[in-house]
Structure formats: structure tokens, C-alpha cells
Amino acid sequence: MKRFSVIIPDTDSLRMGVILEAFRKQTADLAQGEILVVGSDKPGLVPRDGFVHFIPTTQAYSCASDKRNIGMQAASGEIFLFLDDDCIPHPDWIERLLFRHAQGEKVVGGAVELGQRNYLQTADNLSAFHYFLPYLPEGKHEYLTTSNLSMHRSVVDRAGMMEAHQNRADDLEWTLRFRRYGYELYYEPGAIVLHDPNRCSFSNVVRHWLVDAPGTLRIRKMYADLLATPRLAQYRPMYLWGAVFVAAWATSKTFSHPKTRQSYWHTLPLVYLTKLLWCWSAYRNFPHEIEPLRPPDLPATA
């Protein structure tokens, strides 16, 4: 068995060449692990030279959670490391995550450096990843993101793989499920990835938050005890009539750290707008009943 497996779900990412080049600069010994890219690669940026293993998927398994599950099914590593196809790891990313596992941590998440190609991308990034900034303290975290996540194989063996056919909030559900099974989530701010999504236009930012809300709200209702979800969140009208207050509360949490206010104060108007968009989508697509967990139905792998 290898020491680690890096699993990257790919949806024709134009960043994949840069991401894989970043792995060639890792301080960890890559001979101890493997890199699995799972999904579709129409740009042809995944090298077919043995440096990585590319696992193509069909349309039936096109969601991010399905690709990660297929990657875990094929992986031979003791530790699973997850990265998104718009995230570029710092040179010591693998080394820092593995160090935390060597200290006994079972589930470890790292920090997200915000891509700042323009104002729109910066604000969108901050609104989504304010809980994972590099200057936040290390230690126990409420939830983690698969943009930068690692875990011991035994955690997945016990708690199960990701919920099937999900593109949004699948990592929120998964890491909260780990907590339900008694695992602590450890945040290592020194393990950093640059998040550089293609959300540099207003339409892309709007679409992001409209699509994000239904899945996120469903999980917040499902794990209300672990997230201390307010009782008012159970009522659909609040997301319409109370949207300005909900958005203000969420924005205040985004800017709760002094360094965030100092560095990103200029993004506050757009961050507030993303929260309003989230509320509007939560109202329109309110999950009245919590759907049961959908276990993965995986294709056979060679």
C-alpha cells in the first residue's frame, strides 16, 4: 500500500496543467504516493506519461462527489488527499498534511489562498472561503472543504464515501458525517492551496450563489445540532422577508476576523449581495423535507 493518494475530480479544467506542474515541485516524496485525476479532460492537459493516473468517467458519474468516490475506490494510499480542479497546491502542501496525520490526526483540512484576478473573483472567493483563510488559527474546525482535505482511509471505511450525485455541499455533509461518527476535524493553516476559479464575471458569481443555496441549506437542516442552525432557518418565509437581516448576519461572520476586515473591506458590498442571492435561492428552492443520504452506486474499476 502506498502512503497517500491525491484525488482530483476534473471537469475539463484549463488549470489542470498548472496544478499538475505544482505537484512536480512538492517537497514530499511523490514516490510514496500516487495522483489520480478522475473525470473528463477534453483540453488534454493531463499527461499520459505515468506521472498521474487518469480515470475517465461517463455522464452517469459526472458530479464531483461521484468522481471523488471513484477515485477512492481506485486509490491504493493509506491517506486520501483531495483537491479541486481549480486549486493549485503550495510546494509543501502534501508534506504539511502528512505531518498532521503522523501526529495522530485522522481528518485534516488546509487553508485557501484567495485568487484575486479581479474584484468579482476576490469577493466571491472570500464569501465562500472566509472560514479557511491562512491566518486563522490551527485546531479543531466545525467543517472542512474538499478543496483542501485529507483523511485516513479508515475514516472512509467506517463513515462511508461521499453522498452520490452531488456538486454542492457534498463536502459539508461528508465532514459533518465524520463528526457524527466521533472524528475531530483538524485545521492546518500551513497547508495552503490557491483557489482560482473561473468566476470573474458578474453572471458567474450570481450563478454560483443561486446554485449553492439549496444543497447547503439542506445540509444545514440535516445537521442542525452540529451546526447550531437557528430554529428560524426551518421556516421558508424567513429567507424572503428576513433576507436583509440573514445576509447582514452572514456578512458579519465573513468579516469577523480583524485581518479580513483590513485586507478585504472593499469587497463588502458584493459579499453582502452574494448572501442576498443565497437567501433568494433558498426561498425559491426551500427543502421542505430532508432527503435521505444517497449512497454511491459506483462502476467497477480495473
**What does the pLDDT look like over 229-259, one tens digit per residue?**
888 888 999 999 999 999 999 999 999 999 9
What are the boundaries of each domain within the chain?
2-195, 202-284
Residue 45 amino acid letter: L
User: What is the CATH code of the structural domain delimited by 2-195?
Assistant: 3.90.550.10
**Do 178 and 251 meet the contact criterion of CB atoms below 8 Å apart?**
no
> DSSP assignment of 51-94, as one string?
SSEEEE--GGG-SHHHHHHHHHHH--EEEEEEE-TTEEE-TTHH
User: What are the CA-CA distances from residue 77 to residues 88, 231, 260 (Å)?
Assistant: 21, 42, 37
Residues 187-204: what's their mean pLDDT? 96
CA distance 156 to 163: 12
User: What are the CA-CA distances from residue 114 to residues 44, 82, 111, 178, 293 (Å)?
Assistant: 26, 18, 10, 26, 32
**What does the pLDDT look like over 135-144, one tens digit per residue?**
999 999 999 9
Provide the pLDDT for residue 133: 98
| pTM, two decimal places | 0.94
Residue holding cell 516524496? Answer: 29
**Do 206 and 277 meet the contact criterion of CB atoms below 8 Å apart?**
yes
Residue 102 amino acid letter: A
Provide the pLDDT for residue 301: 61
User: What are the CA-CA distances from residue 277 to residues 247, 255, 274, 282, 285 (Å)?
Assistant: 9, 18, 5, 9, 12
pLDDT at 60 over 90: no
**What does the pLDDT look like over 34-50, one tens digit per residue?**
999 999 999 999 987 78
**Do 261 and 196 meet the contact criterion of CB atoms below 8 Å apart?**
no
User: What are the CA-CA distances from residue 44 to residues 48, 56, 68, 273 (Å)?
Assistant: 9, 12, 20, 37
> DSSP assignment of 206-228, as one string?
HHHHHHHHHHHHHHHHHTHHHHT
E strand segments, 184-260: 185-195
